[in-house]
Amino acid sequence: MILHQLIDYETLRLIWWVLLGVLLIGFAATDGFDLGVGALLPFVGKTDIERRVVINTVGPVWEGNQVWLILGGGAIFAAWPPLYAVSFSGFYLAMFAILAALILRPVGFKYRSKRDSAAWRGGWDWALFVGGFVPSLIFGVAVGNVLQGVPFRLDDDLRIFYDGTFFGLLNPYALLCGLLSVAMLVTHGAAWIVLKTEGRVAERARAYGQLASFASFLLFVLGGVCLYFFVNGYAITSAVDGAGPSNPLLKDAVMLPGAWFANYGAHPWLLIAPALGLGGAFLTFVCFGARKEGLTVLASKLSIFGIISTVGVSMFPFILPSSADPRASLTVFDASSSHMTLFIMLVVTLIFLPIVLAYTAWVYKVLWGKVRPESITRKGGHAY
């Protein structure tokens, strides 16, 4: 028996759909608080030493956290080539804006304290704010556009044609999703600052965190209401062959009002996902007020898990619907790599993902504890 036939093609496709979700959630739960900390930096730190304390809460770990973004992009490239082709070409300018903003983060960390100048350091502080706020916003805008459908089509040779524009991405529902993303990650960043600092910095972060968690709750509810009443979902009207060829044009699909809620009607237990999103945001708000630092971070992660999972289970089996030609929409079962490719990638993932998780856990254990001003100013230190 050939090894890759140990797992059938349909199951492998489902496994990689789950793994893609795991990688996206992993990125939001780890590098997400880095982005939130950057967005909060000018507001929770009023003096130079306070801002250095805030920066050093993420300074030792942000590079490792960003690995999840690379893993997610790599997984999309290898497991879902058409998804990679459409998203990275159609969203090219948006991706460029994200990368330009992310580049500001390492440069800001390295150069901010190189000159003892208030103007110099203040400028880099706002650059770090851009590096946190802009990716948080654009990631959410991208999700909002995916839920509405992306204007692309395929010809008979499966060549991709994108008919949208950059400013077309900035529609009201997408911007609403962008604001939800910002609120969610700012909440996570505030929870991390409260966990890693003390005194005035922690108090300011707690206040902003409560506002952001409350906003996350409201925006998630509003996003769901708008999705039901004002945004058409997508549905497959032909038979679904989970082990069929990777050719999106072999199916029939249509746009339907409320279609993104069909999975919850068919499988009510899936309501766990939005319940975790709402419950996690509410619990985060409560934990901020109760000063439960560790529980606040865990509740924030729970909210992130619920919110991102809600998008995935609502759209399944779609991964990138097409508003220009619903038939060309990409799904879990018709846009993947080959059986052999998915199997080899799964074996590699099963070997290396536990190593990444173990190393990450070890790093956080070694670097655990509060960041205090005296540790920043101590001679011979390695703080930013």
Q: Tens digit of pLDDT for each residue in 172-222?
A: 999 999 999 999 999 999 999 999 999 999 999 999 999 999 999 999 999
Q: Are 372 and 285 in contact (CB under 8 A)?
A: no
Question: Higher model confidence: residue 85 or residue 187?
Answer: 187
Alpha carbon 69 to chain centroid, angstroms: 8
| Confidence at residue 303, expressed as pLDDT on a 0 to 100 scale | 97
Mean pLDDT of 62-75: 84
Mean pLDDT of 91-106: 90
Mean pLDDT of 317-337: 94
| Residues across the chain | 384
Phi, psi of 55 (to 5 degrees): -60, -40
| Confidence at residue 381, expressed as pLDDT on a 0 to 100 scale | 58
Residue 289 has pLDDT above 70, yes or no: yes
Residue 382 has pLDDT above 80, yes or no: no
Single-letter amino acid, residue 11: T
Q: CA geometry: angle at 102 spanning 299 and 82, to 5°?
A: 85
Question: Higher model confidence: residue 73 or residue 50?
Answer: 50
Residue 235 has pLDDT above 70, yes or no: yes
Phi, psi of 81 (to 5 degrees): -55, -45
Instruction: State which H helix or E strand residue 236 sits in.
Output: strand 232-236
Question: Higher model confidence: residue 380 or residue 22?
Answer: 22
Whole-prediction pTM: 0.93
CA distance linking residue 139 with residue 323, whole number of Å: 19
Exposure on the CB side of residue 310, measured as CA atoms within 13 A? 25
Structure tokens at 198: 């003390």
**Residue ranges of the domains in the chain?**
9-377
Question: Higher model confidence: residue 148 or residue 367?
Answer: 148
CA distance linking residue 34 with residue 200, whole number of Å: 20
Residue 383 has pLDDT above 50, yes or no: yes
| Confidence at residue 69, expressed as pLDDT on a 0 to 100 scale | 85
CA distance linking residue 182 with residue 179, whole number of Å: 5
Residue with tokens 């289970």: 313
Is residue 27 left, alpha or beta, with left meaning phi > 0 and alpha meaning psi from -120 to 50? alpha
| Confidence at residue 1, expressed as pLDDT on a 0 to 100 scale | 47
Nearest to 254 by CA among 337, 192, 168, 328: 328
Residues 264-277: tens digit of each pLDDT: 999 999 999 999 99
